[in-house]
Amino acid sequence: MKNNVIKILLLEIVCILFTVPCIIGGLRYNEYLISFFMLGIFGISYFLFGFKKDKLSNAKKTLIFVAVITIALVFITYGIGFLTGFARSPYNRNLIGILLNTGSVILLVIAIELVRYQIIKNGNKLTAIISVIALVLVEITYSVNLYNFYNEFALIEFICIAVLPSISKNIIMTLYVRNYGYRVSLIYSLILAIYEYVVPIVPNYDNYLRSIILIIMPILNMQFIDAYLKRKKKEDVRNKNIGPKIFVVISIIFLLFLIAVYSNLFRYWVATIASGSMSPTIEIGDIVVVDKYYSDNPKELAVGDIIVFKIKDTLYTHRIIKSIEKNGKYYFRTKGDYKDNAEDTWIVLKEDIVGKVKFKIKYLGYPSIWLHNLVGGE
């Protein structure tokens, strides 16, 4: 067993070293190169350890259930499109186009899940943890080809859309493989990897909401499948593993809360304050809860209210110092509370208003500011 662990660790180190030129050095790998590299890693593991087929009870019914639940979760996420609208898929959907778009993806998913299975079956807890890191890095290396890092915001988008969901998915897939074998994780991963290349339209939600959905989807999927498989074994799970289940429930509630307040889909949302123009009323690192009702009802705004508005694609949070009504239209002059601030040079129109600040929460915006500064923001 010890020799197997050492061999597994060496394979994981090879995977990590393979990603270094891309992630750190900026080198872009061809998608098929990455896929065939991982197939090569599986081939080496097969030569070293052989391949023990997983023993999944009621395999056919279980895999059908996994596919149905995964597709159902995809449809549920599509329901958000009725709030945000839909966009046409950017991918070519004729047969040749689908094959070209999905070929390397399918190869990579199969290779990753087989390698994961070999690591779990022949390694230990340490190699399982390292496998999550290694496979996340491989997926990031693949995803880098889909992004153009023209500024720091593109990097933040990449972290939200590619990195964080990959971490979530790989943790859950490792648990899948450990408990049920590679076929369950393979079915889930394939569906999630290729469906956007096939469907004609996709929900038009923003990147933050997309990130939250991609993070939470494998967690929800695991809960459904875990409950189904344990029921099949007639296990009473109500009083077992209560700690992890409470953690998952709390995590889901928290993520749903983040969707509600950050996604800009609902009446209330939050904004992080990144400048000191409203000091001492609102400081850098505070977050403000904004009521969007007032964007459609500017006549209910009054002098002294703090509003969030957009001027030339930049958001400001300043106080109204003058309200003007002319021919049924409302115009506002604004100013930050900082003592040295002058009155703003612009006039805020109805279409500029995002909402009215209802209250603030101190310090909670610092992680967002830190991430922005980390990637070179000002």
Whether the link from the prior residue into 280 is cis, omega within 30° of 0, is yes
Question: C-alpha dihedral over 101, 102, 107, 112, to 10 degrees?
Answer: 110
The whole-number pLDDT of residue 150 equals 61
* Fold that domain 268-374 belongs to in CATH: Umud Fragment, subunit A (2.10.109)
* Residue (of 212, 209, 368, 341) closest to 287 by Cα position: 368
The CA-atom distances, in angstroms, between 342 and each of 3, 302, 318, 334, 339 are 71, 20, 12, 10, 9
DSSP assigned state of 279: T
Over the stretch 275-333, which tens digit does the pLDDT of each residue have? 899 999 999 888 888 888 899 899 999 999 999 999 987 889 999 999 999 888 999 99
φ, ψ dihedrals at 302, nearest 5°: -135, 160
Return the beta strands (E) in the chain as ranges.
86-88, 201-203, 268-272, 287-291, 306-311, 314-326, 329-335, 353-361
How many Å apart are CA 211 and CA 192, to the nearest integer? 14
Q: Which residues pair with 331 in a beta bridge?
A: 324
List the structure tokens of 73: 């979760």
Please identify every stretch of the chain with a pLDDT value under 50, giving residue numbers as ranges: 235-240, 243, 375-378
* Residue 182, number of CB atoms within 10 A of its CB: 25
The whole-number pLDDT of residue 245 equals 55
Q: What angle do CA 118, 121, 122 make, to 5 degrees?
A: 80
Pairing of the two strands 201-203 and 86-88: antiparallel
How many Å apart are CA 74 and CA 70, to the nearest integer? 6
Q: What is the DSSP string of 198-241?
A: H-SEEE---HHHHHHHHHHHHHHHHHHHHHHHHHHTT---TTSS
Helix, strand or coil for residue 93?
coil
The CA-atom distances, in angstroms, between 18 and each of 23, 38, 115, 291, 304 are 10, 10, 15, 48, 58
The CA-atom distances, in angstroms, between 309 and each of 174, 247, 271, 354 are 45, 38, 11, 5
pTM, 2 dp: 0.65
How many Å apart are CA 91 and CA 103, to the nearest integer? 13
The CA-atom distances, in angstroms, between 260 and each of 78, 198, 256, 318, 319 are 16, 29, 6, 24, 25
The CA-atom distances, in angstroms, between 251 and each of 74, 133, 232, 247 are 20, 22, 26, 6
List the structure tokens of 104: 């390397």
Report domain extents, the chain: 2-262, 268-374
Is residue 146 within 8 A of residue 101, CB to CB? The reply is no
Over the stretch 81-103, which tens digit does the pLDDT of each residue have? 666 666 777 777 677 777 878 88
The whole-number pLDDT of residue 3 equals 82
Helix, strand or coil for residue 312?
coil
Q: What angle do CA 249, 255, 256 make, to 5 degrees?
A: 90
DSSP assigned state of 348: B
The whole-number pLDDT of residue 19 equals 93
What is the identity of the amino acid at 186? Answer: L
The whole-number pLDDT of residue 151 equals 58
